[in-house]
């Protein structure tokens, strides 16, 4: 039996018979702890039948390193030196083994120096194998850090058996996951850049330049979001402003957002506004197998007269801040788009006087939370709007987003934050 083991394979017949005569047979039932990491041991075990699990204990718990079966040795260091066990050994199945005590082994070494030579040679070979494996793993880890990792670096090591091969396979799996996450992150960054690119830039120079002051900003909770805002000239005197919030988060919301923006943008300018809203809702609701919806406020402002016609499809009510003081709420005129394809929408209207400000936002503002779990809410938003009334559109957006961030005090952003301010300067 001893001759089957690498550590004893080089022993001559006399040495093998001498060692065997001083071993004793032991047995362990499945589940029994055979050796404890950190304890001083004075014996090694030669497994004759069954399997054992090798664990290394770290602060996070027991880490499974290997499963060893017949013709393998465990606790070999305890058989030759008084050092703490480096691992915990548990019987995976019923185990039969030969116990080799250190005192017996040391007396044998004194009698037969060839035993010592063979033991040292075997342990040296194991150390060499370990160093080779650690060199491969170190090289692979450095390559991963540089973004140059290739799974072929560890192919030979992962095909082997033993604890370091198990670790190499775990390392390869981890490296593959890191590379996949890096690829997904790069794809999300590209998607975020695309999403930002479809948001409108400055309005072209013309009548709008002198009659309105407009600014918007969006901060997605993730790389990409489901909020959007838009503004464009419908014709020479009419400006369209839109803000919307798609249900859900991440890629599905971003895709539905892009579709929603396209639907709203492509409506013919000459079409009646109520009809445009019905058409937009029907397009978003038809074939909507994902059951997503979008709350949206869309208004058409006549720059000559200040007349604002609007549809509020279940969105947060924008504030109309009057230049002389006070504020109005532009309440919902219908349900969110994408739910009922046959729904019609009411168009409401109001008139902006010179100096009035239209402030539009998504619920990422009012539903921002601080570390204590308190919500920002409408009251705090209204306090900011009342305090900052009369300032420019850019300053107002910055003040609101700044107040929200100050309230959140570093708490994780739970929803996309978007707002748009429009100051009407009146007819020129």
Q: Which of 323, 261, 273 minimizes the C-alpha distance to 300? A: 273
CB of 173 closer than 8 Å to CB of 140: no
- Could you tell me if 304 and 354 are in contact, meaning their C-beta atoms sit under 8 angstroms apart? no
Q: Which helix (H) or strand (E) holds 422?
A: strand 417-424
Position 357 scores a pLDDT of: 95
DSSP summary character for residue 337: B
Indicate the average pLDDT of the chain: 85
pLDDT recorded at residue 115: 66
Above 70 in pLDDT, residue 127? no
Predicted pLDDT at 117: 72
Report the residue count for the chain.
Answer: 428
Q: Cβ atoms within 10 A of the Cβ of 126, count?
A: 14
CA distance 106 to 115: 9
Give residue-wise pLDDT tens across range 63-106: 887 788 887 788 877 767 778 988 899 999 999 998 888 887 77
* Residues whose CB is less than 8 angstroms from the CB of residue 290 and which lie 6 or more positions away in sequence, other chains included: 252, 256
All structural domains of the chain, each given as residue ranges with its CATH number in brackets, are 2-111 (2.60.120.10), 141-191 (no CATH), 201-424 (3.60.40.10)
Q: How far is CA 343 from CA 112, 274, 407, 427, in A?
A: 97, 11, 39, 36
The secondary structure of residue 91, as a DSSP letter, is E
Measured CA to CA, the distance from residue 188 to residue 330 in angstroms comes to: 35
pLDDT digits (tens, 9 = 90+) for 183-234: 777 777 777 777 777 788 877 666 576 789 999 999 888 777 788 899 998 8
**What pLDDT is stored for residue 76 in this prediction?**
76
% residues pLDDT > 70 (the chain): 91
C-beta of residue 41 within 8 angstroms of C-beta of residue 62: no
- Note the pTM of the prediction, 2 decimals: 0.64
At 6 the pLDDT is: 65
Instruction: Categorise residue 153: left if φ over 0, alpha if ψ from -120 to 50, beta otherwise.
Output: alpha
428 pLDDT more than 60: no
> What is the b/e burial string over 203-212, where b = at least 16 CB atoms within 10 angstroms of the residue's CB?
eeeebbeebb
Alpha-carbon distance values, 302 to 33, 349, 403 (Å)? 83, 11, 32
Q: Is the distance from CB of 350 to CB of 328 less than 8 angstroms? A: yes
Task: Tell me the pLDDT tens digit for each residue of 236-258.
Answer: 889 999 999 988 777 788 888 88
pLDDT higher than 60, residue 139: yes
Higher-pLDDT residue of 302, 136: 302
Rounded to an integer, the average pLDDT of 291-313 is 93
Written as one string, the DSSP assignment of 125-185 is HHHHHHHHHHHHHHHHHHHHHHT---GGGGHHHHTS-SHHHHHHHHHHHHHHHHHHHHHHH
Q: What is the Cα gyration radius of the chain? A: 37
Name the token pair of 341: 């394809």
- pLDDT, average across residues 28-32: 96
What is d(CA 129, CA 257) in angstroms, rounded to the nearest whole number?
Answer: 57
Residue 174 tokens read as 């981890």
Give the model confidence (pLDDT) of 411-427 as tens digits. 988 888 999 999 998 86
Instruction: Report percent pLDDT > 90 for the chain.
Output: 38
Q: Locate tokens 């979008």: which residue? A: 294
Question: So what's the pLDDT on residue 14?
Answer: 82
Residue 308 — pLDDT band, cuts 50, 70, 90?
Answer: very high
Residues whose CB is less than 8 angstroms from the CB of residue 423 and which lie 6 or more positions away in sequence, other chains included: 212, 213, 214, 355, 356, 357, 392, 393
Q: What is the spatial distance between Cα 245 and Cα 257, in angstroms, rounded to a whole number?
A: 8
């Amino acid at each position: 039996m001893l001759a089957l083991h690498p550590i004893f394979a080089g022993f001559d017949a006399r040495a093998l018979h001498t060692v065997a005569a001083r071993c004793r047979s032991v047995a362990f039932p499945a589940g029994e702890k055979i050796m404890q990491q950190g304890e001083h041991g004075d014996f090694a075990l030669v497994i004759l039948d069954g399997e054992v699990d090798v664990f290394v204990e770290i602060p996070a718990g027991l880490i499974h390193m290997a499963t060893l079966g017949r013709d393998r040795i465990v606790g070999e260091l305890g058989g030759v030196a008084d050092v703490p066990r480096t691992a915990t050994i548990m019987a995976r199945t019923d185990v039969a083994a030969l116990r080799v005590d250190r005192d017996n082994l040391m007396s044998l070494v004194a009698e037969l120096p060839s035993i010592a030579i063979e033991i040292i040679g075997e342990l040296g070979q194991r150390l060499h194998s370990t160093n080779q494996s650690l060199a491969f793993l170190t090289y692979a880890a450095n390559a991963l850090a540089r973004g140059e990792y290739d799974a072929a670096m560890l192919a030979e090591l992962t095909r082997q058996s033993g604890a370091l091969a198990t670790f190499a396979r775990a390392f390869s799996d981890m490296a593959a996951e890191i590379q996949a996450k890096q690829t997904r992150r790069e794809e999300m960054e590209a998607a975020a850049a695309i999403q930002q690119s479809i948001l409108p830039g400055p309005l072209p120079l013309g009548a709008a330049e002198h009659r309105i002051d407009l600014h918007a900003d969006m901060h997605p909770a993730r790389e990409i979001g489901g909020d959007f805002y838009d503004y464009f000239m419908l014709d020479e005197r009419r400006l369209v402003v839109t803000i919307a919030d798609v249900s859900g988060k991440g890629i599905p919301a971003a895709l539905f957002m892009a579709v929603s923006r396209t639907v709203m943008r492509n409506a013919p300018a000459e079409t009646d506004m109520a009809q445009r809203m019905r058409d937009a809702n029907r397009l978003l609701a038809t074939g909507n197998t994902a059951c997503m919806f979008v709350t949206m406020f869309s208004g058409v402002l006549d720059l000559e007269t200040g007349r604002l016609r609007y549809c509020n499809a279940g969105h947060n009510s924008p504030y109309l801040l009057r230049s002389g003081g006070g504020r109005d709420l532009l309440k919902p005129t219908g349900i969110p788009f994408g739910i009922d394809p046959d729904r019609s929408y009411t168009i409401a209207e109001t008139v902006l006087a010179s100096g009035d400000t239209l402030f539009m936002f998504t619920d990422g503002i009012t539903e921002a939370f601080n570390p204590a779990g308190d919500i920002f809410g409408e009251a705090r938003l209204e306090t900011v709007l009342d305090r900052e009334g009369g300032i420019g559109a850019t300053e107002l957006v910055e003040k609101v987003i700044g107040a929200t961030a100050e309230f959140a005090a570093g708490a994780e952003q739970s929803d996309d934050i978007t707002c748009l301010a429009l100051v009407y300067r009146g007819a020129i």
